[in-house]
Structure 1
């Protein structure tokens, strides 16, 4: 008897990782009638800091609703929808637009809420759908063959599956143990990202605001985005800034008082510093076509345009469909073809999103020619609205949808 056949923890499909992508993949598999087990390194009630992926596109809501009808409206009800966006250049408004709210019962263009709330609702939906969970099961290694996948945990437990969807994040142990490299680079420049609770005594207008060269913070770029319960503030640092100084203590509170009312500087719940990775896995599946990489296990982008989770959830749905087709296939060749199609199509989408996020990074760290174009657009925005519109959308990258993806266009 082979080791896989003797393995007591044998399952048809295992999803590694209980973040939004892993939970979405599990939901999609259950919607297709497939039993699925989710292995998660942490405890069920683990607490992770920060709002993280706050922006759920309508296309993502629609995907989740296909797997679990009603989930999209639950996410929309828990989130925040802002109807006005403004863009400033050196303290002067160069663009403003407000939108009509969607009719009652229609999904909004997006929902803005902390990732922990998205995960809570996804977990609840998974339990309702009959997903099995194995908590405190941190995967250390993965090995594949034509018969399936053998997973070993850090605690020494072994699991075997016919197929695995690896949604175990940026430091994916599954991807690493299979020797699938990431290709790409780290962006230049640092960013400070801050969460601040809403001040009930001085609530702010629910608007997305972007500042080029904010005069109150020595010409640094600043993005302010509301979400349910608070505000996300992104500060783009100068090349000679100390990230540690501006992300902690009075250094953090000082610049935050300059961009928000003073009480918000005392309502910080989380801060972090980033230099964004722009990387994509060389292949989104293993050589035997038994493991499918999804979400940050497969790609990491700069966050401009909210392409991370909103490309990971389409990965999850496509991976579930590919596994379902492979398990229904009439022979090994057709099964492998289903997984290969997933790997090729989702990698194409990832390449597009990586390039789009890269274009936004280039725009936000302009050379002399691009800076001159920015200044000219700001000077002419009042008499030429297209200039203001360009200044508003350019920090988020190209607006066209990636292959197999729909991106935010609100």
Structure 2
């Protein structure tokens, strides 16, 4: 009889989406397991680009330093187009790679996917979580019992796992393991296990077993655009080989992505016509790494490009743009990453979208599992991330068409112009950087009082700003106070407490927070630390030379280290612009609620606190302590 076990969350797949979720849940103390069919982590190739918003997310988990130190930074984007004399290509412009003004990190990072996964694997290990390999799912079933599905203590998802020996996995010609098992050795080299889970996350890639088993359909289509990719160390006189570069040539398009060390990734359009197989798909068997590199040489003429060594990794793909109809089933099984959206890799969105899916979901699972929030909270995952995925596909279609189209020339007047291509990338800078992502109104995203802080857009991530800790005048980036620890951050912009009128308002807020009916007391479990669920921060407008942390009422001042002011730092380099940037009036102040994933979710006035507005907001999805 197969052994059986229980787990709160089972993650299937240890790619970027899976390890992001595993690390977030393990660090939150959730009982979680993560399994993967690969015998070892990725050693070469795959995704490699991290956008500015994702760097902020890494920072929120304390993982950005290693990413930045080991990765390559891309600061500029160069454009090359055909020369008028027909002799190859020439640079037509060079612009900043990141065009989002509010980005904390004004660059992208490129790093081998295996190294990126290793950052999470090492962090998971510190929390006692290891990826179990090689394991493949055999079946997945969700209970139909309404009472079982409604119970927070039940394990309504049954997954049968097959534990394999490495030899059990069949290997495809490109070295990728499949789920196919050799029947001759199945019984002797593998074993079955039945896992009963409260929740399951399918992060198992574009050919997701979880998605297929649950009958979740993909919407979208494949295009006719075929691209080859090589990771290599070229020898060249091309002047922008260390910048992200988009090349439109008479021989096809090419994109250069500089990588760590001397490595470079080349995306090369396969311009020649390929045969179509019996399924109506392009036959990529004729494409070789040598052919991809030869096309790259032609695209970059008149510059020289040589490949003295074999490529480290290569692949060939047909651009497909698809989104799953559902991202969850009964709010018990979820899919993330490539399992629910696929698109071209040239905009650098794939791995970022995958990890931010998990970043969005993990804290919600932790809240529900702890009994802090209603299961209704889990519905916001699909609401928020599916809209983002659809927006991503729409952008990707435009980019893929422009990138795969021929450049405008004297002979091709209807081709893609440099202005058109550059304009798309720059106009979508907020989207491609991840900075401008905005979640729609929902039970956790309430834009009713947006006018009180117009610079902090409700549904978008909390803008970076330097503020000063009052007790020791130490400068802090406010995003570093909004760590991904599953806690809500409630930031009270209190104005100047040295003013008598404002002090009275602050004292009233403090007295209210000491009451048992306040949100901080009502939605914090009995017996838990006072900051178990909510971190309360104050930001005053008092000069750092006059400010005292004792100006803040004890009900609002949970610790001396939580009181800040908006003033220029001692070194004069930053600070003093938070109220202005956020659009908050210092004479009246405001209260800003920040979700555990760093997104602004609600704003109200200080007077609204004493009238119960925060209790009303959190009561829409949080569970009271008495329950």
Report the TM range for the smaller structure's normalisation: 0.7 to 0.9
Q: 2:66 aligns to what SS in structure 1?
A: helix
Structure 1 position 46, deviation (Å): 4.3
Q: 1:171 aligns to what SS in structure 2?
A: coil
Q: 1:245 to 1:262 in 2, by over 3 A?
A: farther
Structure 1 position 34, deviation (Å): 1.7
2:58 corresponds to 1:64: yes
Which residue of 330, 333, 344 corresponds with 1:302?
344
Which residue of 207, 222, 231 corresponds with 2:254?
222
1:87 and 1:60 mapped to 2: Cα distance? 25
Structure 1 position 345, deviation (Å): 1.1
2:20 and 2:393 mapped to 1: Cα distance? 22
1:270 and 1:182 mapped to 2: Cα distance? 29
Q: Which residue is 2:68 aligned to?
A: 76
Q: Which residue is 1:121 aligned to?
A: 119
1:177 and 1:39 mapped to 2: Cα distance? 17
Structure 1 position 20, deviation (Å): 1.2
Structure with the higher helix share, 1 or 2: 1
Query: Given that residues 62 and 72 in structure 1 are in contact (C-alpha distance below 8 angstroms), is that contact kept between their aligned partners in structure 2?
Result: yes
Structure 1 position 86, deviation (Å): 1.2
Structure 1 position 342, deviation (Å): 0.9
**Aligned residue pair count:** 374
2:157 corresponds to 1:149: yes
Q: Which residue is 2:605 aligned to?
A: none
Q: Which residue is 2:311 aligned to?
A: 268
Q: 1:48 to 1:185 in 2, by over 3 A?
A: farther
Q: Which runs of 5+ in 1 are unaligned?
A: 101-105, 379-386
Q: 1:140 to 1:203 in 2, by over 3 A?
A: farther
Query: Given that residues 52 and 108 in structure 2 are in contact (C-alpha distance below 8 angstroms), is that contact kept between their aligned partners in structure 1?
Result: yes
2:414 corresponds to 1:361: no
2:306 corresponds to 1:255: no
2:228 corresponds to 1:192: yes
Which structure's relative contact order is higher, taking Cα pairs within 8 Å and 6+ residues apart? 1
2:363 corresponds to 1:316: no
Please give the TM-score of this superposition, normalised by the length of structure 1.
Answer: 0.81
Q: 1:182 to 1:396 in 2, by over 3 A?
A: farther
Q: Which runs of 5+ in 2 are unaligned?
A: 83-88, 99-103, 144-148, 163-190, 276-283, 440-458, 462-627
1:274 and 1:80 mapped to 2: Cα distance? 25
2:404 and 2:193 mapped to 1: Cα distance? 47
Larger Rg: 2
1:246 and 1:236 mapped to 2: Cα distance? 11
CA offsets, 1:248-287, max 9 Å, x none? Answer: 44x344334443744425342222111122111111111x
Q: 1:266 aligns to what SS in structure 2?
A: coil
1:169 and 1:135 mapped to 2: Cα distance? 16
1:403 and 1:210 mapped to 2: Cα distance? 28
Q: Which residue is 1:103 aligned to?
A: none
Report matched runs for 1:175-190 at 5 Å: 175-190=211-226
Query: Given that residues 42 and 138 in structure 1 are in contact (C-alpha distance below 8 angstroms), is that contact kept between their aligned partners in structure 2?
Result: no
1:179 and 1:320 mapped to 2: Cα distance? 24
